[in-house]
Amino acid sequence: MILKSVIVSITERRKGPHSARFHIKLDTHVQAALPHINVSSNETQSDQKSSKTYGQITSYENKPWFIEDKSKRVTQALRFRYWHDEKRFKGTGETSLAQRALNTLGGQRMGGNVKSDPVQGPLGWQRKDDWDILWSPATTAHKAFEGGLRPGQLCSAVPGTQSICKKRRLSETLVQAYGEKAFDIIPRTYSVPRQVKEWREWMLTHCKGGEAQLWMLKTAQHLGKGLKLVPYQSAIKEVLLQFQKADVARKSGRAKQVRPFVVAQRYVEDPMLINGLKFGIRVWVLITSVNPLRVYMHSGGLVLFSTDMYSSDISRADGSVAGGHVTNYAQNKDGEVWDMKQLRRYLGDRDFDVLMNRILHNTAMTYAAALEPMRREASKMGRPAAGCSSFELMGLDFLVDSSLNPWLLEVNSTPSLAVEHSDPEVEGMIYHEKNSMVMDIFKLLRIPERFSSAVQQSDNESSSSLSMINGCEDKEEREALVAKVSAWLGEQANHEAVYEIVASELEMRAGTGFVPLMNSISLAEAEASGWNVTFSQLDLLQERWCQAREQSLVFP
């Protein structure tokens, strides 16, 4: 076996904590020997002075390339292909945390067009033969499911998540599942104009005696845009007036300039304040399966503060939302931002744990409510090919009241991974939180290990029983197979493949910060409470194993 080895000097240039750029320098004859590695360098002599040798690329004859770092850990390089629809995201491929992570793990970008290219070019869903992983916003990634995927492909969207990601549908999905109990998770919300009558009736009953109650009106826009805070006396009038303005704009070809309100949400008027500022919490959630439900919340996150001091003066609610009421990152880019460790220090361990456990539970309840629409959408696309998979990252925004109750305000599809702040120290913290979370996504998905032939074969074998169950359309046959798999699990209790068949991703992959939410809801509680949530046999089986593992019991 012939061993070739070449030292690679990687220059790290930093203009800010999030803008580290790495350049690989290779001699021309060495570059020619690496046909699969795209290498470019435009560094100056001043850049070279601060260069650091991070590792060594080693090639074995007829073997993939490897990168070995100073700690002697070896990572296989260039073992999978990915497509990045760069034009659909904010920022460029060079600043994309996802692209950096995929490159670090050995991926090779096969397409989309770069931001600077004036040509739009094809999107990933239009070139399904060119990638193993599609990184694209959920709105476009969904189209990749049309016609099916190849075994092993990963797509950055999960069918049916619109049931909670769209502002209008979030409250409808939760109410469908939990009735009035939904408003223990989200502030009371009405879809307008469809529910104007119910909204008016509720206010007539609950807004008596001149109570100063505020409502937040929201358009379908994102990034903190299209919000208006109004007193209840004028709320319905504002909604109807906005619809008239939007209709006039639409008829004159200016539809995008005036957006109608789509929901009216009761304003949380007793927010917890820190140093006089209102704050919200952004948490990141990853969903990797709908049957059984596999959803995870990251232990990191961001605490986003309003730019102005909070005031409960109702007179200030006349018009667009003032800076003391908005905690959206896109609207307050230079506002104060904390990580979770800073929030823990402020609240203390006890109160912080109480708050985070409540957020964990409410997040799990939200995804349980979406189970039926997600499974329904998945079934419309037909039975997926063996081994293909989907995943989706979402950002959930919570507001905390003075009693430590977290109120879910929105579920954001394709949350921003941009890193921007005028304070370099804060910018560095934001970069660390987001970058760690993105790396954990791909660790949880077992990339690049899942693309090695040996691992793929193991995965296919270990998921065969699960695939059989998912492929059964006959109810009796399906239940019989579930019973058969359950018995097999009992016999193979100590076998590593147990988790691959029932809940492979329950076991948190090495070093990830994702916490499984599946066991945050008692399925028995769901049945006893009369919730309209349908759990499958696989969910029940998964919960059984999860509880046994948590309690350190011997598997039956």
Both 323 and 438 in one domain: the answer is yes
pLDDT in tens, 205-240: 887 655 558 899 998 787 667 788 888 888 888 888
| Domain-embedded: residue 555 | no
| Contacts of residue 527, Cβ cutoff 8 Å, sequence gap at least 6 | none
Q: What is the pTM of this model?
A: 0.76
Please tell me whether the peptide bond between 193 and the residue prior to it is cis, using omega within 30 degrees of 0: yes
The domain boundary, picked from 235, 267, 299, lies at 267
Q: Which amino acid is at 225?
A: K
Name the band, by pLDDT with cuts 50, 70 and 90, for residue 453: low
The pLDDT of residue 21 is above 80: no
The domain boundary, picked from 136, 161, 177, lies at 136
Both 526 and 497 in one domain: the answer is yes
Both 250 and 126 in one domain: the answer is no
Specify the pLDDT at position 232. 82
Both 334 and 281 in one domain: the answer is yes
Specify the pLDDT at position 66. 34
Both 161 and 295 in one domain: the answer is yes
The pLDDT of residue 269 is above 60: yes
Specify the pLDDT at position 53. 27
Q: How far apart are CA 395 and CA 327, in angstroms?
A: 14
The overall average pLDDT reported for the chain is: 74
Beta bridge partners of residue 542, listed in sequence order: none
pLDDT in tens, 133-157: 999 999 999 999 988 888 889 999 9
The pLDDT of residue 407 is above 50: yes
What percentage of residues in the chain have a pLDDT greater than 90? Answer: 40
| Domain-embedded: residue 556 | no
The pLDDT of residue 506 is above 50: no
Both 131 and 155 in one domain: the answer is no
Both 18 and 87 in one domain: the answer is no
The pLDDT of residue 330 is above 90: no
Q: Is residue 399 within 8 Å of residue 268, measured between CB atoms?
A: yes
Both 96 and 123 in one domain: the answer is yes
Specify the pLDDT at position 307. 84
| Reduced 3-state DSSP string for 396-465 | EEEEEECCCCEEEEEEEECCCCCCCCCCHHHHHHHHHHHHHHHHHHHHHCCCCHHHCHHHHHHHHHHCHH
The pLDDT of residue 128 is above 50: yes
Both 461 and 517 in one domain: the answer is no
Both 372 and 236 in one domain: the answer is no
Q: Span 100-119, mean pLDDT?
A: 94
Backbone angles phi, psi at 6, to 5 degrees: -140, 135
Both 263 and 286 in one domain: the answer is no
Range of the domain at 504: 456-511+522-550
The pLDDT of residue 57 is above 90: no
What CATH number did the domain enclosing 312 receive?
A: 3.30.470.20
Q: How far apart are CA 400 and CA 211, in angstroms?
A: 22
Specify the pLDDT at position 331. 57
Total count of domains within the chain: 5
Residue 6 burial by CB count (10 A; 0-12/13-18/19+): exposed, middle or buried? middle
Both 318 and 409 in one domain: the answer is yes
Name the band, by pLDDT with cuts 50, 70 and 90, for residue 248: confident
Mode of pairing for the β-strands spanning 227-231 and 21-25: unpaired
Q: Is residue 219 within 8 Å of residue 225, measured between CB atoms?
A: yes
| Domain-embedded: residue 476 | yes
| Domain-embedded: residue 147 | yes
Q: Is residue 414 within 8 Å of residue 393, measured between CB atoms?
A: yes
